[in-house]
Amino acid sequence: MPVYKAPLRDQQFVLHEVLQAVEHVRQMPPFRDLDADTVNQVLEEGGRFCSQVLQPLNLSGDEQGCRFDAATHEVRTPDGFRAAFDQLREGGWQGLTADAEYGGQALPHVLQIAFDEMRCAANQAWTMYSGLTQGAYECLRAFGAEPQKAIFLPKLVSAEWTGTMCLTEAHCGTDLGLLRTRAEPQPDGSYRITGQKIFISAGEHDLAENIVHLVLARLPDAPAGTKGISLFAVPKFLPQGEGAQARVGARNALYCGGIEHKMGIHANSTCQIVFEGATGWLVGEPNRGLNAMFVMMNGARLAVGVQGLGLTEAAYQNAAAYAKERLQGRSLAPGAKSDRAADPIIVHPDVRRALLTARAWAEGGRAFSLWLALMLDQQHHHPDASEREFAADMMALMTPVAKAFLTDNAFDGVSQCLQVFGGHGYIHESGMEQLLRDARINMIYEGTNSIQALDLLGRKVLMDAGAKLRSFGKLVQQFITEQGSSLEMNEFVTPLADLGDKVQKLTMEIGMKAMSNAEEAGAAAVSYLRVIGHLVFAYFWARMARAALDRVGAAGADPFYRAKLATARFYFQRLLPETAYHIRAARSGAKNLMELEAELF
């Protein structure tokens, strides 16, 4: 049976020794009283909840799946899910970062991301029931009218009610300009919403008393395309009463038409939701619904990247444990002897390659995602306007990288770990094939990874002539300059500097080509994102190596630091060279993709 232990030691290393996260957030007025002990206590309690409550439900939840009753349109979640959700509610975990005025704990996002990693590793399907609720809270907090905030936000923070986002329709996925759901204004200021949405994660379930759907729809006089989309809050049950005292009232005119039968995340109900003149309320301005929804979508994209990170960590832990116990073959090391008929497979070089690949993806992704969470806190709370602006630029630039790079790496890392198990990884009982199936969706939803690549190159880099990318480059260059005279850092700093130079040249080359042929950017985008992802990882792996070197020579030093340095060397020598392929592929241009006539495919 699969196991999971929260990676508290590594999270604490990144937070306290690499990022100095507490010192950083204490510069922000809401978090001036935060200390390292509080951070550690939250992580320890969160890790205990994830490993003891959520992880034991992961395999059984996948086996059982969700059950849809076509007569009542209701969905039952797997056994144990509701009790676990009650514990989430009782522990106040849903409101970790929410404002105190709505019942939240008002802690920094860096703690939320650390907790999210653990719960995604333990049980991604269960986590999704509350994950989108967080995004719904952020969206309504930013764009909701005061009466909407007063009713919905306390309920979402307490997890009495959950939230979804309803974007996709059967005839349109990412191209939201094609959506047909209608919103008819009513005399009382509400709207009647009519249409059908598909692929709605956690769209119907038995975990909370109400579900607040955030729905994209068109007003009668709306212009065509994305400029004519508005956003509406449409609850499953209409609120009765005002403010935080509101309770569920009459059933709204919407229902679940069915649940999808999916490759993975079987324990999360992915629903078809039918709106038949359901009552909803406009969120934000008419015809500017995407502006409001992007608050939720960007948060979801970062969350999906963290889902990939969590699955990578879970797969690595199980594969490493298996490799130490499974006896097969003999060590090829000179002079290796054993009285046993076979050695544990951890002695074999290629098994180690697979394990170190997953480990390097997980630990690099952890440093990146926690830094990005710090940028999110800085964007909203830093007293210096220039620091807020820098953080906003980093969030814009790095959100597509986090979503795509972390989930691509997850599918690779989990696949490598399944391979360690051999045939035992391919059967259900090990839990590895479930992790691989679950990991595959993360590359698709919230905007496919190819769309993330187009967003990165087209909108986040070329549109501002590389200004945001140069801002990140200054961080990299500052670190390189600081470490330039350190001989022990040469093996990490030299390849980092080399890649930084190559990124500058590659960006300029693609930009020049795209000026005369936009398809050049489309042809290069996926490889370009892989290169940028490695620039980010190389930077954080170099920073982690520096922090480990500062400790590894001390008397009684924790072996943790030797392991960190070994993994850093593996990353730079075995994984970073992938950039040579992707730089060459990006430079090869659009012709080799576009010259074959469509009818010949």
Measured CA to CA, the distance from residue 127 to residue 300 in angstroms comes to 12
Q: Kindly give, in sequence order, each residue whose CB lies less than 8 Å from that of residue 514, ignoring residues fewer than 6 positions away.
A: 462, 520, 521
Number of domains in the chain: 3
Residues 119 and 167 in one domain: no
Using one digit for the tens of pLDDT, what is the confidence trace for 378-393? 999 999 999 999 999 9
Whether 369 is in a domain gets the answer no
Domain harbouring 80, CATH code: 1.10.540.10
Residues 67 and 189 in one domain: no
Where is the domain boundary, 106, 141, 176? 141
Residues 108 and 176 in one domain: no
Using one digit for the tens of pLDDT, what is the confidence trace for 198-250? 999 999 999 999 999 999 999 999 999 889 999 999 999 999 988 878 899 99
Residues 26 and 97 in one domain: yes
Residues 520 and 564 in one domain: yes
Percent of the chain clearing pLDDT 90 (strictly above): 92
Whether 383 is in a domain gets the answer no
Residues 69 and 125 in one domain: yes
Q: How far is CA 108 from CA 17, 163, 231, in A?
A: 18, 21, 28
Q: What is the average pLDDT across 8-23?
A: 98
What pLDDT shows up at residue 87?
Answer: 98
Whether 588 is in a domain gets the answer yes
Known catalytic residue at 509: no
Where is the domain boundary, 252, 287, 322? 287
What pLDDT shows up at residue 553?
Answer: 78
Q: What is the average pLDDT across 165-174?
A: 88
What pLDDT shows up at residue 242?
Answer: 84
Q: How far is CA 228 from CA 283, 446, 575, in A?
A: 14, 21, 45
Is residue 307's pLDDT more than 70? yes
Residues 133 and 12 in one domain: yes
Residues 176 and 57 in one domain: no
- Measured over the CA atoms of residue 499, residue 501, residue 504 and residue 506, the dihedral's sign is negative
Using one digit for the tens of pLDDT, what is the confidence trace for 88-136? 999 999 999 999 999 999 999 999 999 999 999 999 999 999 999 999 9
Residues 109 and 195 in one domain: no
Q: Pairing mode, if any, of strands 247-251 and 254-259?
A: unpaired
Domain harbouring 234, CATH code: 2.40.110.20
Residues 14 and 108 in one domain: yes
Residue 175: Cβ-neighbour burial (10 angstroms; 0-12, 13-18, 19+): exposed
Which range of residues forms the domain containing residue 71? 8-141
The pLDDT-based confidence of 46 (bands split at 50, 70, 90) is very high
Residues 251 and 130 in one domain: no
Which is catalytic among the residues 204, 433, 446, 520? Answer: 446
Whether 355 is in a domain gets the answer no
Mean pLDDT score of the chain: 96
What pLDDT shows up at residue 292?
Answer: 85
Residues 279 and 212 in one domain: yes
Whether 566 is in a domain gets the answer yes
Whether 153 is in a domain gets the answer no
Percent of the chain clearing pLDDT 70 (strictly above): 100
With CA atoms as reference, report the closest residue to 28 among 302, 374, 368.
374
Measured CA to CA, the distance from residue 297 to residue 291 in angstroms comes to 10
What pLDDT shows up at residue 555?
Answer: 66
Q: Which amino acid, 338?
A: S
With CA atoms as reference, report the closest residue to 535 among 489, 460, 600, 480.
480
Is residue 482's pLDDT more than 80? yes
Whether 258 is in a domain gets the answer yes
The pLDDT-based confidence of 335 (bands split at 50, 70, 90) is confident
The pLDDT-based confidence of 291 (bands split at 50, 70, 90) is confident
Where is the domain boundary, 254, 287, 320? 287
User: H or E stretch including 404?
Assistant: helix 385-421
Whether 265 is in a domain gets the answer yes
Q: Kindly give, in sequence order, each residue whose CB lies less than 8 Å from that of residue 329, ignoring residues fewer than 6 positions away.
A: 342, 343, 345, 348
